[in-house]
Amino acid sequence: MKDFLKELNDEQKAAVETTEGPIMVIAGAGSGKTRVLTFKVAYLIQKGVEPFNILALTFTNKAASEMKERIIHLVDSTDARNVWMGTFHSIFAKILRIESEKIGFPSNFTIYDSDDSKSLIKSILKELNLDPKTYNPAAVLHRISLAKTNLMTPQDYNDDLELVAYDQTANKPLTGQIYQIYQARLRQSSAMDFDDLLFFTNVLLRDNPDALYKYQQKFKYILVDEYQDTNFSQYLIIKRLAANNENICVVGDDAQSIYAFRGASIQNIFNFQKDYPDFRIFKLEQNYRSTQNIIKAANSIIQNNKNQIRKDLWTNNDSGPKITVLKATSDSEEGMLVAHSIFENKMNNQLENSAFAILYRTNAQSRSFEESLRKLNIPYKIYGGLSFYKRKEIKDLIAYFRLTINPKDQEALLRVINFPARGIGSTTTDKLIVAAGEKEKSIWELLLNLRNDSLGLNGGTINKIIEFITKIRSFQVQLHTQSAFDLAYYIAHQSGIVKDIKSDETPEGISKLENVEELLNAIRDFGDTPRMVQDTGEIKTDDNSVRTLEEFLMEVSLLTDLESDEKKEDTNRVTMMTIHSAKGLEFPFVYIVGLEEDLFPSYLSQSSRSEIEEERRLFYVAVTRAMKKLTLAYAQTRYRWGNLVMANPSRFIEEIKSEFLDLPGKIVHNPSPSVKKLKPIQPNIQKTESKIDFVEADINTVQTGMQVEHQQFGQGKVISVEGNGPNKKATVFFQSVGQKQLLLRFAKLRIIEQE
């Protein structure tokens, strides 16, 4: 028998050796969480527990596979393969196939992925003659997913007055009906979507006592990884299965709970003691990853959260250098400072590119860092996403730019002739491609003479094409009279791209809108940078000329050409990713960028203490990714929908004790929210500027149905009000950001009118 426990420290060993009863292992960042979970399963097997009687739930198939191989090595037996180890979805899909008859499904039921589900939603919208721009399929599916996560049937959804009121306010009153039809169609197809796998497992265990008893007896020991990331549906399944033996071990870290937007509930880990009063807790506080300065800084950050399980990370590693803070005048300069810092660290310390990671709050922030790294010939990769100029929404908008400049650009034309959807289908475009080839003309030339040569197209299609041509021509007439930004802004809105993206209220939709905003910001920045010209042998700036959209596209094409030349097999690259994607990873040198108020913490997450605390946990996760050196960066100015605004340093920088920081001088908060207005008309898309005459209403006067204004989220309608006194809350639907629940004593609402 192997003595593998000698590889563990005292607290890890105690957590592994305690096998009976409810156990919670709070595993701080870099403290060996996966090792404890793996060794615990191996220890149970070594003690004589049958692998078939062990259920170990993870959040990724990769983690489950790696852990299982490690367990086989530890116990030196392939019997370990019989452990029920995998993701929630994979394990419970297996159970549902075994017990399918009990819930009215055949054992060979189909599992729909997100594309299948979206396709079904689209067909339902078509049948109901509903506009997909209003009922965005992704947003509708997100709404249904949240309902299923909370175990709400279509009937439950339609009986919930608050949900119905929200849908009516959002101009989507038939969402509940779509859910009902969607679920009926899944049944007709003997299919389940991913959310159904958990939903019907709950139904199975709730309505079939024999099945519940069977699996309670089977799974004598239950282990759950990343317990802080479980949602309500997952929580109930675990609670039911563990109710008999109560040999349940949950492993996680409340300080790394960052997925509320996916439905994860941090309350599950906080309530573990209430669910199991006789539980035992083990805290893994020794960090093996980072320097002392990084760990102490992380502790000083997270201590500001009131809602937490207290722990104090420590390490035997070296003190390491202080955390560097980079202050840039603009987001472009921020990109350059970070890129140059990486270059210098590489050269001075003979490091690989792969030693570096740039972490940001939103995907849209990658652009300035991508461009700066390219200029220094530093290869990079976007982890879990596409390079900025390869993202669909960016390619769509640039295709409109290209078509405006060169209407004979066939690839650009075919990309956007039916985007956003205008009823010009693939049959029509196929006819156009064939006719253009036969007549040796560009498709655009064919379209200009469509009245004379209809190519067999019906009148309705011809009218739609003519509307499209008219739209492109309206862009073309401004090509040489408008600045790059003014024309780009006009095209983004008149093409319907911004409206189409705004209809998708999912996190993915918000990310797309941020990417479009960032592209427009890049164009504004480009237009504000004077053109360099040669005058009698001397290079000078031409301050009087207006930079055009055509010039911007030329610069972009050079950048994207550099990207396409990169060798795909080269793994020695700087890693760039959102902080959400970085969880579970580590890098010797980490740069956390965009540390400004309204960016990080996000302006979307400042309406309650719980939201701010999640943002702080996200920052904590980012900080604890760094092994040797951490650098924080922020810009003093940043473009927002083409307007240059002053940016204040993030509160999170100030929360780090100064003894751990190498500051660039005193951090100054800018008193004014903006430097200058660069565009006469402010787009009402993401952010509403504070008004001098803004008068906050008394919290007791805010009532359901009122039209109100928030200094950050703009105008909205009060859907419901609950609670009393200082705990009074309002649920408000804002046109700019959707539904938000606000604690009224902090929200500062102004009443516009009362219905």
Structural contact between residues 122 and 185, judged by C-beta atoms closer than 8 angstroms: no
CA atoms 668, 669, 673, 679: torsion sign? positive
At 355, the amino acid letter reads: A
Whether 648 and 312 have beta carbons less than 8 Å apart is answered as no
Rounded to 5 degrees, φ, ψ at 505 are -90, 10
The residue annotated as part of the active site, out of 12, 33, 315, 731, is: 33
Q: Which position among 193, 225, 285, 500 bears the catalytic label?
A: 225
Give the integer Cα–Cα distance in Å for 750 and 698: 9
Q: Out of 143, 311, 391, 625, which one is annotated catalytic?
A: 625
Q: How far apart are CA 87 and CA 60, in angstroms?
A: 6
Assess contact for 355 and 380: CB atoms under 8 A.
Answer: no
Query: Exposure pattern of 277-307 as b/e (b: 16+ CB <10 Å)?
Result: eebeebbbbbbebbbbbbbbbbbbbbeebee
- List the catalytic residue out of 226, 254, 331, 709: 226
Q: Which of 54, 656, 617, 626 is nearest to 315 (CA)?
A: 626
Strands 738-743 and 729-734: antiparallel
Report angle CA 481, 487, 490 to the nearest 5 degrees.
130
Sign, CA dihedral 113-118-123-128, equals positive
Residue 685 sits at the vertex; the CA angle it makes with 598 and 173, to the nearest 5 degrees, is 115
> Are 728 and 164 a contacting pair, CB within 8 Å?
no
Q: Which of 208, 252, 175 is nearest to 96 (CA)?
A: 208
Say how many C-beta atoms besides its own lie within 10 A of residue 4's C-beta.
Answer: 17
Residue 441 is among the residues annotated as catalytic for this protein: no
Q: Hey, is 561 helix, strand or coil?
A: helix
597 is catalytic: no
Decide if 688 is catalytic.
no
Query: Any catalytic annotation for residue 225?
Result: yes
SS3 for 479-503, per residue? CCCCCHHHHHHHHHHHCCHHHHHHC
Q: Report the chain's terminal Cα–Cα distance, integer Å.
A: 75
* Active-site choice (12, 256, 482, 631): 256
Among residues 18, 19, 34, 688, the one annotated as catalytic is 34
* Whether the Cβ atoms of residue 95 and residue 88 lie closer than 8 Å to each other: no
Strand, helix or coil for residue 576: strand
For residue 660, what are the CA distances in angstroms to 313, 359, 520, 588? 15, 20, 37, 18
- Identity of the residue numbered 457: L
- Which positions are catalytic? 33-34, 225-226, 256, 625
